[in-house]
Structure 1
Amino acid sequence: MQAHDFYLPSQDYLLSHSVGRMLKSAQEDFNRQFMAPWQQLNQEPWVQWLEGVERFRLTLAGLLGGSTYEFCPQTNLSGGLTKWLMSIPDFQNKKVKILLSEHDFPSMGFVLQQALQDVELTFIPDSEDMSCIDTWQRYLTTGYDLVFVSHVYSNTGQQAPVSDIISCAKQKNARVVVDIAQSAGILSIDLHQWQADCVVGSCVKWLCGGPGAGYLWVNSATVFDCQPKDVGWFSHQNPFEFDIHHFAPHDTVLRFWGGTPSVAPYILAGHSIDAFAQMGSEKVRAHNLSLLEEIWQALSPWCMSPQHPSRCSGTAIINPGKRLQVCTQALKEQGVAIDVRKYGIRVSPHIYNNHEQVSRFIDIVQRFVD
């Protein structure tokens, strides 16, 4: 894939941490897989639609180092996490102690607070460096039932040492959930190597797959212990049995699927995931790092995010100081698409960005640094 394979504005788009750009080939693929069967066949198009959903699961497995049967489509991360939490028998009728970070996406915190009847949340303070295993080892003491980890923290640009955290948590007999919404497509991920209990993610950011195509991965060693409460006919081992007196949960993670599924988002996303899987996350990351390094070299004193590949996400956080607001306005006036959060300007160069765009960003910011 190259820049000309994507729909791009005439100006500089550096917001892939929010929404990735659409592939030009996506619409034709969507029309063939979703629209055409609906428009042309003299039968219901479920066979063709579900083939599109199966491609979504298959391509996720290829990209993320899992198996197809371990992935279940979900509308979003919140829904997937809620379903998983409510399915764990050990989490019912007891106080569940959970470790998470103040840097985690608020939606995840809301679910952890509300999905279970009795919870005790311990937040690692936002002053801590979540990319450092020492931080996790200090807080991850005995007694936690669950550890929630964001592979990447969107407001700090930090990358958590997921494998080491999982190993530490398992030594303490704690389950682990990992949020990969901000890392899938830009960082290499091997779910079988990680061996978390549950992973939730989406496709709208670096995978350029649009909204609504979330997914839930559940470790195959634990899936038979999961007893989902939010079920439907697509959670059944045989959805087309149509016997209201007999519910047999699917023997894979599809037991979490629920009622009649939305299919369009997964067909759209599956095409994009397949393209990124064929390219490989390593190639996307190498291009991303080459552009991040230009930012680090030019703006290092004002870079709030880590400046090392093993500790940084795909996003740089730049804070020029007192003139942050006017700098942000100048970037927007010059057609550089960025956004701002607590620690500064977020900028995320993707495979379709180039050195000229990053140079323009740097030139504008340098006018306003303290």
Structure 2
Amino acid sequence: MDDLTNNHKHDFMLAPGSYLLNHSVGRPLKTAEAAFRQQFFAPWQDSGVEPWGDWLGIIELFTKGLSKMFNAPASEFCPQVNLSSALTKLVMSVARLQRDGAVILMSEIDFPSMGFALKKALPKNCELRFIPKEQDITDANVWDAHLTTDIDMVFVSHAYSNTGQLSPVHDIVSTAKSRGILTLIDIAQSAGVVPMDLAALQADFMIGSSVKWLCGGPGAAYLWVNSQHIADCQPKDVGWFSHENPFEFDIHDFRYHSSALKFWGGTPSVAPYAIAAHSIDYFCQLGSDKLRQHNQHLIELVANELDSELVSPREQDKRSGTMILNFGQRQPQVMSTLKSANISVDARSQGIRVSPHIYNDEADILRLLELVRTAVK
């Protein structure tokens, strides 16, 4: 495993210490700044021609990268500013979700922003239903029991940020399809570190971002729409780049773009996608399988040493790229010790979150364990 790390550690901008906060923000590539200057600034400052032709090429690189990473046509992806906005646009575009009595199912441990967006995007007489937080969302039987035939869509987080759990997405999608329920997968916490094959999964919709494991910074989110639904979706939040021909300039004639770009909207942001497209290309070459293997190896080292403190799943098929450690009353002391040693982690209600990336190695983990042992003596 160390050989894999040594091949990639030098590719990233790393401050002194150990950065284990990849569930929050991944570290940038050393080549990110130069790539950004070439793709974004050079067409703007080095030419007397307006730069939109080159800038829109950045978006094409971004969607092609997503296509390669998730095994789905580039035409099914649309850039978005963040997941909440993407979710709102999507729900308001699906007629089935805007009818009287529509029901969406999600877990009570989903990221709150997703619940906020869904509540506002649904009409007042619709229902947002929750799987209680006490129930094990890694268990396909739990989902099976809650996927009743009166549900119109199920919102599924592939990985859960505060618990380190991984949902059984293939089982959920299969069950939902058999009952006529739409599926929407949130991959904010799994993109890049847990392999996702959309052609095999055959979900209906997906939302994701680039800021965490893909190390692409904020502002480069995306919406994926299965081709079978693109024609039926009728977004309300549109702009000239949602148009079939943005440069037609006929204010009396709006026609939806034939691809997922119908969700794009007005004049697009470009800069975040220049950074993210470069980073996504790097991780496409690395491969999610390799990152997953390396991440799980490092988590396993901690799990073997701190089994009683590990509150996230012990089984690899149920855990995400993040482990949660709970030290009870000793937790403030552990956090203080790690912070003093420049070990970057954070804490939520379940415990301390630790997320090792490809640029972390066994030495980082052994140092973490050494400091924990010192703190809890």
Instruction: Tell me the TM-score range normalised by the shorter chain.
Output: over 0.9
Q: Which amino acid aligns with 1:109?
A: G
Supply the distance in 2 between the matched residues of 1:322 and 1:93 (Cα, whole angstroms): 49
Supply the distance in 2 between the matched residues of 1:228 and 1:163 (Cα, whole angstroms): 28
1:4-24 residue CA offsets vs partner (Å, 9 max, x unmatched):
110001111100000000000
The partner residue of 1:17 within 14, 20, 23 is: 23
Supply the distance in 2 between the matched residues of 1:366 and 1:102 (Cα, whole angstroms): 34
Supply the distance in 2 between the matched residues of 1:174 and 1:304 (Cα, whole angstroms): 32
1:120-166 residue CA offsets vs partner (Å, 9 max, x unmatched):
12211111111111111122222111101000001000000101101
Supply the distance in 2 between the matched residues of 1:43 and 1:368 (Cα, whole angstroms): 60
Deviation at 1:368, TM superposition (A): 4.5
The partner residue of 2:38 within 14, 32, 41 is: 32
Deviation at 1:40, TM superposition (A): 1.1
Q: Which runs of 4+ in 1 moved over 3 A?
A: 367-370
Partner residue of 2:349? 342
Within 5 Å, which residues of 2 pair with 1:124-139?
Answer: 124-139=131-146
Given that 1:188 and 1:281 are in contact with CA atoms closer than 8 Å, whether structure 2 keeps it comes out as yes
Supply the distance in 1 between the matched residues of 2:47 and 2:354 (Cα, whole angstroms): 45
Deviates more, 1:200-209 or 1:185-194: 185-194
Supply the distance in 2 between the matched residues of 1:128 and 1:368 (Cα, whole angstroms): 32
Supply the distance in 2 between the matched residues of 1:353 and 1:251 (Cα, whole angstroms): 43
Given that 1:179 and 1:199 are in contact with CA atoms closer than 8 Å, whether structure 2 keeps it comes out as yes
Q: Does 1:360 align with 2:367?
A: yes
Partner residue of 1:160? 167
Partner residue of 1:313? 320
1:217-252 residue CA offsets vs partner (Å, 9 max, x unmatched):
001011100000001100011111111111110001
Provide TM-score, normalisation by structure 2.
Answer: 0.96
Partner residue of 1:52? 58
Deviation at 1:293, TM superposition (A): 0.8
Supply the distance in 2 between the matched residues of 1:135 and 1:247 (Cα, whole angstroms): 44
Q: Does 1:121 align with 2:166?
A: no
Partner residue of 1:330? 337
Supply the distance in 2 between the matched residues of 1:299 and 1:264 (Cα, whole angstroms): 42
**SS of corresponding position for 2:78:** strand
**SS of corresponding position for 2:318:** coil
Deviates more, 1:255-264 or 1:138-147: 138-147
Partner residue of 1:281? 288
Q: Which amino acid aligns with 1:252?
A: S
Given that 1:143 and 1:172 are in contact with CA atoms closer than 8 Å, whether structure 2 keeps it comes out as no
Gaps (5+ residues) in structure 1?
A: none
Q: Does 1:209 align with 2:197?
A: no
Q: Does 1:220 align with 2:227?
A: yes
**SS of corresponding position for 2:227:** coil
Supply the distance in 2 between the matched residues of 1:333 and 1:346 (Cα, whole angstroms): 17
Q: Which amino acid aligns with 1:359?
A: L
Within 5 Å, which residues of 2 pair with 1:285-300?
Answer: 285-300=292-307
Deviation at 1:92, TM superposition (A): 2.0
Aligned residues: 370
Deviation at 1:187, TM superposition (A): 0.5
Gaps (5+ residues) in structure 2?
A: 1-6
Partner residue of 1:194? 201
Partner residue of 1:304? 311
RMSD: 1.1
**SS of corresponding position for 2:261:** helix
Given that 1:321 and 1:369 are in contact with CA atoms closer than 8 Å, whether structure 2 keeps it comes out as no
The partner residue of 1:7 within 9, 13, 31 is: 13
Supply the distance in 2 between the matched residues of 1:366 and 1:131 (Cα, whole angstroms): 30
**SS of corresponding position for 1:289:** helix
Identical amino acids, percent of aligned pairs: 52
Deviation at 1:321, TM superposition (A): 2.0
Given that 1:318 and 1:346 are in contact with CA atoms closer than 8 Å, whether structure 2 keeps it comes out as yes
The partner residue of 2:47 within 41, 48, 54 is: 41
